[in-house]
């Protein structure tokens, strides 16, 4: 479990960056961005073959990183909107 969380922590920044890049293209409806973040996280987890963890654990870590990316964005958005 610790390995999954450590891997998710390392993937979350990349997941967030990829989702933000996709969001700027305006080709995806904003309501689907959280689902997109989870899918991108899972794909990044599956692609992380350089980490010696089995595939199922990498997929879990990717899904967790997608959820964390959504939460990280929402926290940042709420802080910025609260300052205005």
Q: Which pTM was predicted?
A: 0.77
- The residue segments making up the domain with residue 7 are 2-79
Instruction: Note the pLDDT tens digit of each residue in 53-65.
Output: 888 988 888 888 8
Is 54 a member of any domain?
yes
Angle at 71 between CA 56 and CA 7, to 5 degrees: 35
Q: Residue 24 and residue 64: Cα distance in Å, rounded?
A: 23
Is 63 a member of any domain?
yes
pLDDT over 70, % of the chain: 88
pLDDT-based confidence at residue 13 (cuts at 50, 70, 90): confident
Is 84 a member of any domain?
no
Looking at the structure of the chain, the number of domains it has is 1
Residue in the structure block whose two tokens are 């969380």: 5
Q: Specify the pLDDT at position 34.
A: 87
User: 50 vs 7, 24, 45, 77, 84, CA distance in Å?
Assistant: 11, 30, 10, 33, 43
């Amino acid at each position: 479990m610790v390995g999954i969380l450590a891997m998710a922590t390392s993937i979350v920044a990349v997941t967030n960056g990829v989702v933000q890049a996709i969001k700027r293209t305006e080709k995806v409806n904003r309501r689907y961005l959280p689902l997109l973040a989870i899918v991108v996280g899972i794909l990044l987890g599956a692609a992380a073959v350089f980490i010696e963890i089995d595939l199922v654990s990498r997929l879990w870590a990717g899904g967790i990183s997608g959820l964390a990316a959504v939460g990280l964005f929402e926290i940042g958005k709420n802080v910025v909107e609260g300052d205005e």
